[in-house]
Amino acid sequence: MTTDVVDPTAQRSRSGRSVPKRRQGQTHRSAVAFFAAPFGVLFLLFYLVPIGYAIWQSLLVVEREGTYGAPQEVFGWFAQYALVLQNGPFWESVLRVLLFGVVQVPVMLGLALLFALLLDSPVLKGRKFFRLAFFAPYAVPGVIAAIMWGFLYSPNLSPFTDVTRAIDFLSPELVLWSIANVVTWVFVGYNMLIIYSALLAIPSEVYEAARLDGAGQIRIAWSIKIPMVAPAIVLTAIFSIIGTLQLLAEPQVFRSFSSAVSSTFTPNMTVYATNSIPNINLAAAFSVVLALATFILSFTFLKITQRKAD
């Protein structure tokens, strides 16, 4: 009489045969690789390769043999980055968008949080209508929104001529904040939706316990809702920081309405203008520096908020 020794780490397949766990693990890894491959290919082709190409272009310089010689790209190490450090208009544009972000981002996120809390309040009537009304501006493309607001700001085109002639919204002193108003109008609803989704995820039992303790709606919002949606607020803040440093469409449109908006008004406009000269290598260096600045600011903000949360 013989007995079969069965591997304890094996499992039975549908055919009755034992399948070792090692083979199962290999099958799972193959399935994961198969489904992740399309994303990996697209991520490589449309993200990593363009970044690598931009870095390579930023390390090249154009040289000519004689006055009328054919241009030739040669490896120039960090010569383009030295020009970036010496470029005054670029750093002025960086400071301009940082000032823009310091004022505009808190106002926008404050309004988004307020609207989200109003939508989540049980005393609000017509919740569906207001949710759509708050989010509707985000459905308007940024270029169209900038054109619309540009007409509203223009003294000769606006239907509110008494206001626009009394206050020049397109003057050098106010044009930055006029652009900030456009960005706020467009993106408040988008950020509100993220925060509102986080509010919907809070268990109702938490609210019931707070009401039993005698907390009102304002107390619940301040002590429960806002702390519990803090991760969503941090997420929207990071998105806003990235968007601030990438500001392009709105000021580009406002150039046709105001002479106060120059071709180097924002960092991205500086990159665009430099590339149009054309000076692709210097534009690539601008782009790399701007990407690093965006990463540093976003990462620093994330670390500071995480440290406060701990």
- Rounded to an integer, the average pLDDT of 53-80 is 81
| Higher per-residue pLDDT: 66 or 214 | 214
What is the token pair recorded at 265?
């008004």
pLDDT in the model for residue 276:
85
CA dihedral 172, 174, 180, 181 (to 10 degrees): -140
The domains of the chain are located at 32-75, 78-307
Per-residue pLDDT for 240 more than 50?
yes
User: pLDDT (tens digit, 9 = 90+) per residue, 140-195?
Assistant: 988 999 999 999 999 888 888 888 888 999 999 999 999 999 999 999 999 999 99
CB contact at 8 A, 189 and 138: yes
Per-residue pLDDT for 207 more than 80?
yes
The mean predicted confidence, pLDDT, of the chain is: 86
Predicted TM-score (pTM) of this structure = 0.83
Looking at CATH, the fold of the domain delimited by 78-307 is given as: MetI-like fold (1.10.3720)
Q: What is the 3-state secondary structure (H, E, C) of the chain?
A: CCCCCCCCCEEECCCCCEEEHHHHHHHHHHHHHHHHHHHHHHHHHHHHHHHHHHHHHHCEEEECCCCCCCCEEEECCCHHHHHHHHCHHHHHHHHHHHHHHHHHHHHHHHHHHHHHHHHHCCCCCCHHHHHHHHHHHHHCCHHHHHHHHHHHHCCCCCCCHHHHHHCCCCCCCCHHHHHHHHHHHHHHHHHHHHHHHHHHCCCHHHHHHHHHCCCCHHHHHHHHHHHHCHHHHHHHHHHHHHHHHCCCHHHHHHCCCCCCCCCCCCHHHHHHHHHCCCCHHHHHHHHHHHHHHHHHHHHHHHHHHHHHHC
Confidence of residue 73 (pLDDT cuts 50, 70, 90): confident
Q: With the C-alpha atoms ordered 169, 174, 180, 184, is the resulting torsion angle positive or negative?
A: negative
Report angle CA 231, 232, 237 to the nearest 5 degrees: 95
- Rounded to an integer, the average pLDDT of 278-295 is 91
Label residues 190-203 b or e (16+ Cβ within 10 Å = b): bbbbbbbebbeeee
Question: What crossing angle do the helices spanning 280-309 and 230-245 adopt, rounded to 10°?
Answer: 160
Task: Give the span between the Cα atoms of 252 and 269, in whole angstroms.
Answer: 7
Task: Give the span between the Cα atoms of 173 and 169, in whole angstroms.
Answer: 8
